Amino acid sequence: MSLLDLFRKQPPSAPAARERLQILMAHERAGVRGPDYLPKLHKDLLRVCKKYMQISDDKVSVRVEELGNVSMLEVNIELPGGGAYAR
């Protein structure tokens, strides 16, 4: 530890806790409240994607978002290998 560290204050950690919780809760609640077919849809999408690319399970996310009286299905598929649709 350098002498400078003694005087440097660490940033407060509570805001990080709050933000992480908010993201997590939004995710978990969507999972709980979404339609029953969501997990199956997620699995099927993953299976289809795997036919065409090497992709890990956490790169496909499926969730339902409520916007007023409209429910929107949001599917995010992150392509492997970085930018410029490698491979």
Partner 1 sequence: MSKIIVMTSGKGGVGKTTSAASFAAGLALKGHKTVVVDFDVGLRNLDLVMGCERRVVFDFINVINGDARLKQALIRDKRVENLWILPTSQTRDKNALTKPGVERVLGALRQEFDFIICDSPAGIEKGALMALYFSDEAVIVTNPEISSVRDSDRILGVLASRSRRAELEMEPVKEHLLLTRYDLGRVETGEMLTVDDVMEILAIPLLGVVPESQSVLRASNLGSPVILDSASQPGQAYADAVGRFLGDSLEHRFLTAERRGIFQRLLRRSA
Q: Which residues bind partner 1 (CB under 8 A)?
A: 11-15, 17-18, 20-22, 24-25, 28-29, 32
28 or 78: CB nearest partner 1:
28
> Could you say which DSSP state residue 77 is in?
E
d(CA 42, CA 34): 12
Q: Which is nearer to partner 1, 13 or 69 (CB)?
A: 13
CB 59 within 8 A of CB 45: no
Amino acid identity for residue 49 in this structure:
C
Give the position of tokens 């992150």.
Answer: 78
Question: In angstroms, what is the minimal distance from the CB of 16 to partner 1?
Answer: 9
Question: Residue 38 and residue 52: Cα distance in Å, rounded?
Answer: 22
Nearer to partner 1, 13 or 76 (CB): 13
Least distance to partner 1 from the beta carbon of 85, Å?
Answer: 36
Q: How near is the Cβ of 21 to partner 1 at its closest, in Å?
A: 5
